[in-house]
Chains A and B, each alone.
Chain A
C-alpha cells in the first residue's frame, strides 16, 4: 500500500515537472489534459485489475471470512447459529499448547536469524572470491532450498528414524554415543528441527547475499586496498554496510517464513511428540481441521495473521524504513 502511494506521488511530481518544462501555463489546462487524465486512469485500472483481483479473492476475502467465522462455534457443516463472541480467542490464548506453539515459532525466528546470518554471510563471502568449482559449489548450496518442502521433510524423516541412516552414520564414525531419538524425544526434537530448517533455508540467505555482494562496486575495495585497509577492515567498512539492505530484507523474509512454518514440521513430527514441536500453523490444522472446529481454527488463524502483521509492520517501521526512504530519495534527485 505504502509503495503504491509513493509511486503515485512520484508520477504526479514528475508530471508537474514535465509540464513546467514545456512552459505550458496552468490556466491553459483544457480538454486535452483531462482526456489525458482519463487515459491514465484507464491505464491504471487495466494494469491494477489483475493484481487486485487476485489480492481480493485470495487475501482480503479469506482474511475477512476467517475473522467472521472466528466468533462462531462452528463444525463446518451446520449453519452459523452458535455465536460465541471472543470465546474462541480466549480459549486459544489460554491454551498452554497454543502458547507453546507461539513460543516455538519465536524460538525458530530468533535462532534462524542467529544461526543463518553468520553462516550465510560467511559462506557468501567465501563463494564471492574467485576459486575453482565456484559455480558448482553455489549450485550445491542452493539445492536444498529448491527441493520441495514435502520431499525434504520425507527424506529427513526417513534418515532420522531410530537406527536409521543418521544413527548408522554417527556410529560408523565413532559417535554412537551422540545418537538421540531425533524426532521421538520431546527435549531433542526442536534442536533437530532447527538443524533441518537451517539446512533447508540457509541456501536462500547465501544466494541473496551473493546477489547483494555482486552489487558492491569493486572500485570501493580497490580504493580501500590502495589506502592499506586489511581484508577484515574492508569487509567491515564496505561490504557489511553496503550489504545492509539485502540482509534486512532477508531477515524480514526469514522471520515471516518462521512465523508461518508448517510443511516441514507437519510431515516430520505433526507437531509432536507431546506437542514439543508444534507451531501456530500445525496447531491451527490439528485443532481447526482435524477436529472440525472451523470457528476455533479461524480464531487461531486470525491470531497468527495478527502476530505476523504486527511483526511485519514493526519491522518495516523501524528497520526497513531507512532502506525505502533511501531508495525513493535517491530516485527523485
Chain B
C-alpha cells in the first residue's frame, strides 16, 4: 500500500517536473531594445576574402555616415547559412538583412509574411538592376535585390582545345562532335560534379531553357505544371550528351569544389577540357591549384550551345545570383542600408573584387577579369535570364529535379522519369 502511494506521489512529482522542464526548454527568443541606437543584424555568405573584407568595409562606411546605427555582421559558409537561416526565420528573432537567393524559396518566405516589401521603399534601386530583379519578385512586388548575378556556361581549357584542334561549339550538334574530337585526342572532354547533384542538373536546366519557350518556363515556375513535351525533350538532349560519355572517371561521386579531384579542380589542373559551371568558377579554380593561379591565361568561356530545333530563346541565359532581403521585423534603416549596398559606387567596388558580377546597370565596367567581362556581356545581351530552375521551383521540387537528373547521369532514369519525379513532387 505504502508503495503504491509513494509510486503515485513520485509519478506526480515527475510529471510536474517534466512539464515544468518542457516549458523551460520551449521558451526563448529575445527582443532588441533600441535606445536611440539601432542595431542591424546582417547575415551573408561572404565568409572568405575578398568578399568578407569588402562587406566589412561597406558596413563601416555606412556606420560612419549614419551615427547611431550599428551593423552586426555574421559571415557564414553558404550551406551553414541556409540551414541557420531557416531556423532563424521561424524564430522570433530573425536577422534584419540577409542573403536571399530568390525564386521559389523566397516565395515561401513571402507567403509566410517574413519579408519586407521593398517595392515602395527602393524604387530607384529596383529600376537600376533592370530585368535582373525578376527572380526576386513575387506578383509584381519586390522582396529582395540581387547584387551579383552571373550566368552558367562552359569554362574551358584553351590549350587543350587547341591540342585537339577544336573550337568552342555553337550548337549542341557541334558540342557532341567536339566531345568526340577531344576524346580522339586522348583527352577527357568534360568534368561534372554529379556527386553534388546540382552541377549535373545544370545541364537539364539549360536544356530546358533551349527547348522550352520563355512563356512555358515562366508558367511552370508559377503553377509547377510540367506537362509540356518540351520538358521531356530537355531530358533527351541531356541524355544525348551523357551517352557520348564525355565525363571524368567516377563523375557520379565527384564533388564540385572540394579539392584537386573535384570537377573544378580537374579543370584547373588541366585534367579535363571543360566544365559547365557558374561565374564563380575562376575564383574556385585558383584555390585548387598549387600556384594559386588556376588555368590563368588558358581559361576561356563559351555559352551553352544552342538547340536550333528547340522552342526556347536560343540566346537566353541560365543565371543565378545573390541578393539581400530585409525581414519584416527589421528597422527602417535596413532598406536604407540596402540602398547603400546597391549604390553604383559600392557595386563598382564589388565588381573590382572579382568576387561576382555586379547587377546595377553601368557598373560592369568595374570588372577586371576578361572572362567575367565576357560572362557579363552575355548576360546583358540575353533577351531574358532564367533563374536556376531548382531555385526557381523551390527546395522541394528543385531537390526532386536535381535528384532525378543525377539519376539520369547514373543511367538509372529516363527523360520521362525526370518529368514524373518533379510532377509528383509538386502535387
Q: Chain A: residues with CB nearer than 8 A to chain B?
A: 12, 37, 41, 44-45, 48-49, 52-53, 56-57, 60-61, 75-79, 158, 161-164, 181, 183-186, 189, 269-270, 272-275, 286-287, 289-293
Query: Which residues in A have their C-beta under 8 angstroms from that of B254?
Result: 184
Question: Is B108's CB under 8 angstroms from A78's CB?
Answer: yes
The smallest beta-carbon distance between B379 and chain A, in angstroms, is: 28
Shortest beta-carbon contacts, A-B, top 4: A184-B250, A184-B253, A273-B252, A274-B410
1/0 contact string of B56-93 vs chain A (CB within 8 Å): 00000000000000000000000000010010011000
* A75, A269, A274, A293, most chain B CB atoms within 10 A: A274
> When chains A and B are docked, how far (Å) is the Cα of A158 from the Cα of B262?
10
Query: Which residues in A have their C-beta under 8 angstroms from that of B9?
Result: 41
Question: Is A291's CB under 8 angstroms from B108's CB?
Answer: no
Question: Is B407's CB under 8 angstroms from A77's CB?
Answer: no
The smallest beta-carbon distance between A39 and chain B, in angstroms, is: 13
The smallest beta-carbon distance between B9 and chain A, in angstroms, is: 7
Query: Which residues in A have their C-beta under 8 angstroms from that of B344?
Result: none
6 A-B pairs whose Cβ atoms sit less than 8 Å apart in the complex = A52-B17, A52-B18, A52-B21, A57-B25, A181-B252, A292-B108
B194 close to chain A: CB less than 8 A: yes
Query: Which residues in B have their C-beta under 8 angstroms from that of A185?
Result: 250, 252-253
Question: Is B195's CB under 8 angstroms from A272's CB?
Answer: yes
Query: Which residues in B have their C-beta under 8 angstroms from that of A76?
Result: 86, 90
Q: Which residue of A lies closest to B195 (CB)?
A: A272
Given A186-B410, A273-B410, A292-B396: A75 and B249 within 8 A (CB)?
no
The smallest beta-carbon distance between B26 and chain A, in angstroms, is: 8
Question: Is B261's CB under 8 angstroms from A53's CB?
Answer: no
Other than the known A41-B10, A60-B22, A158-B259, what 9 A-B pairs have Cβ atoms closer than 8 Å?
Answer: A41-B13, A52-B14, A76-B90, A162-B250, A181-B249, A184-B249, A273-B194, A274-B252, A293-B396
B111 close to chain A: CB less than 8 A: yes
Query: Which residues in B have their C-beta under 8 angstroms from that of A37?
Result: 2, 6
The smallest beta-carbon distance between B346 and chain A, in angstroms, is: 30
The smallest beta-carbon distance between B394 and chain A, in angstroms, is: 8
Residues of B within 8 A of A (CB-CB), count: 47
Within 8 A of A (CB), among B405-419: 406-407, 410, 412
Q: Which residue of B lies closest to A285 (CB)?
A: B83
The smallest beta-carbon distance between A255 and chain B, in angstroms, is: 28
Question: Is A273's CB under 8 angstroms from B14's CB?
Answer: no
Within 8 A of A (CB), among B230-288: 248-254, 259, 261
Question: Is B109's CB under 8 angstroms from A77's CB?
Answer: yes
Question: Is A290's CB under 8 angstroms from B395's CB?
Answer: yes
B399 close to chain A: CB less than 8 A: yes
Within 8 A of A (CB), among B1-58: 2-3, 6, 9-10, 13-14, 17-18, 21-22, 24-26
Question: Is B250's CB under 8 angstroms from A181's CB?
Answer: yes
B372 close to chain A: CB less than 8 A: no
Question: Is A49's CB under 8 angstroms from B399's CB?
Answer: no
Contact of B21 (CB < 8 Å), options: A41, A56, A269: A56
Q: Which residue of B lies closest to A65 (CB)?
A: B26
B380 close to chain A: CB less than 8 A: no
Question: Is B412's CB under 8 angstroms from A274's CB?
Answer: yes
* B26, B252, B410, most chain A CB atoms within 10 A: B252
Contact of A161 (CB < 8 Å), options: B6, B24, B197, B259: B259
Q: Which residue of B lies closest to A293 (CB)?
A: B396
Query: Which residues in A have their C-beta under 8 angstroms from that of B108?
Result: 75, 77-78, 292
Q: Chain B: residues with CB nearer than 8 A to chain A?
A: 2-3, 6, 9-10, 13-14, 17-18, 21-22, 24-26, 83, 86, 89-90, 105, 108-109, 111-112, 114, 194-197, 248-254, 259, 261, 394-396, 398-400, 406-407, 410, 412
Query: Which residues in B have their C-beta under 8 angstroms from that of A287?
Result: 399
Question: Is B253's CB under 8 angstroms from A183's CB?
Answer: yes
Query: Which residues in B have their C-beta under 8 angstroms from that of A53?
Result: 17, 21
Question: Is A161's CB under 8 angstroms from B261's CB?
Answer: yes
> When chains A and B are docked, how far (Å) is the Cα of A292 from the Cα of B2?
52
Question: Is B252's CB under 8 angstroms from A272's CB?
Answer: yes
> When chains A and B are docked, how far (Å) is the Cα of A52 from the Cα of B22?
11
Question: Is A274's CB under 8 angstroms from B21's CB?
Answer: no
> When chains A and B are docked, how far (Å) is the Cα of A41 from the Cα of B251?
64
Query: Which residues in A have their C-beta under 8 angstroms from that of B398?
Result: 291
The smallest beta-carbon distance between A153 and chain B, in angstroms, is: 12
Question: Is A291's CB under 8 angstroms from B250's CB?
Answer: no
> When chains A and B are docked, how far (Å) is the Cα of A161 from the Cα of B251?
10
Contact of B112 (CB < 8 Å), options: A78, A186, A275: A78
> When chains A and B are docked, how far (Å) is the Cα of A48 from the Cα of B10?
11
Question: Is B261's CB under 8 angstroms from A163's CB?
Answer: yes
Query: Which residues in B have their C-beta under 8 angstroms from that of A290?
Result: 395, 399
> When chains A and B are docked, how far (Å) is the Cα of A75 from the Cα of B395?
9
> When chains A and B are docked, how far (Å) is the Cα of A186 from the Cα of B252?
9
Question: Is B22's CB under 8 angstroms from A61's CB?
Answer: yes
Question: Is B18's CB under 8 angstroms from A162's CB?
Answer: no
Contact of B261 (CB < 8 Å), options: A41, A164, A186, A189: A164
Question: Is A56's CB under 8 angstroms from B396's CB?
Answer: no
> When chains A and B are docked, how far (Å) is the Cα of A274 from the Cα of B261?
19
The smallest beta-carbon distance between A277 and chain B, in angstroms, is: 10
* A37, A57, A164, A291, most chain B CB atoms within 10 A: A291
Question: Is A45's CB under 8 angstroms from B13's CB?
Answer: yes
Query: Which residues in A have their C-beta under 8 angstroms from that of B10?
Result: 41, 44
Question: Is B253's CB under 8 angstroms from A49's CB?
Answer: no
Query: Which residues in A have their C-beta under 8 angstroms from that of B105?
Result: 292
> When chains A and B are docked, how far (Å) is the Cα of A189 from the Cα of B3?
57
> When chains A and B are docked, how far (Å) is the Cα of A326 from the Cα of B28?
47
Query: Which residues in B have their C-beta under 8 angstroms from that of A291?
Result: 395-396, 398-400
> When chains A and B are docked, how far (Å) is the Cα of A273 from the Cα of B407?
8
Query: Which residues in B have their C-beta under 8 angstroms from that of A162?
Result: 248-250, 261
> When chains A and B are docked, how far (Å) is the Cα of A77 from the Cα of B26?
17
The smallest beta-carbon distance between A178 and chain B, in angstroms, is: 15
Q: Which residue of A lies closest to B5 (CB)?
A: A37
Question: Is B6's CB under 8 angstroms from A41's CB?
Answer: yes
Question: Is B109's CB under 8 angstroms from A184's CB?
Answer: no
Q: Which residue of B lies closest to A277 (CB)?
A: B253
The smallest beta-carbon distance between A237 and chain B, in angstroms, is: 44
Query: Which residues in A have their C-beta under 8 angstroms from that of B14?
Result: 48, 52
Question: Is A184's CB under 8 angstroms from B252's CB?
Answer: yes
Question: Is A12's CB under 8 angstroms from B3's CB?
Answer: yes
Query: Which residues in A have their C-beta under 8 angstroms from that of B252?
Result: 181, 184-186, 272-274
Question: Is B111's CB under 8 angstroms from A78's CB?
Answer: yes
